[in-house]
A and B are shown apart, each in its own frame.
Chain A
Amino acid sequence: MKNSLFLILFLLFLGPVFGQVKKHTLLLNTGTQNAWERDFAYSPLIYKGSNAGFTLGFSSEGEKKTDEVYIHYSRLPLQSQFSAEMKATHASIMTYTFYKPNWLPEQLNLGWSNNNALSLRNYQDAQNFNPRFDFHTSFGPAVRYQTFFGKNQQWRFASQAHLQVIGFLFSASYLTSPPDPFLHEQSTFNAFMQSIRLFQPFRQHDLGMLNQLFYQLSNGNEVGIGYRWHYTSLENAHRSQRSGGHYFFQLNFKL
Chain B
Amino acid sequence: MEFDIPTWIKVGAYAGSGLAIGLGAIGAAIGEGYTAAQATAAISRNPARSGEIFKSMLVGQAIAESASIFALVVAMVLLFTTFQSDSFIMVWAVLASGLCMGLGAIGAGIGAGFPAAAACEGIGRQPGISGRLTTNMLIGSAVCQTPSIFALVIAFILLFTGLDNNPLSPTWAAVLGAGLATGLSAIGAGLGSGLVAASSCEGISRQPTSATVMTNSMLLGQAITQTTAIYGLLISFILLFKAHPATESLAPAMALLGSGLCMGIGGIGPGIGEGFTAQAAVRWMAREKDSIGDLTRTMLIGMAVAESTGIYAMVISLILIFVI
Tell me, yes or no, whether A binds B: no
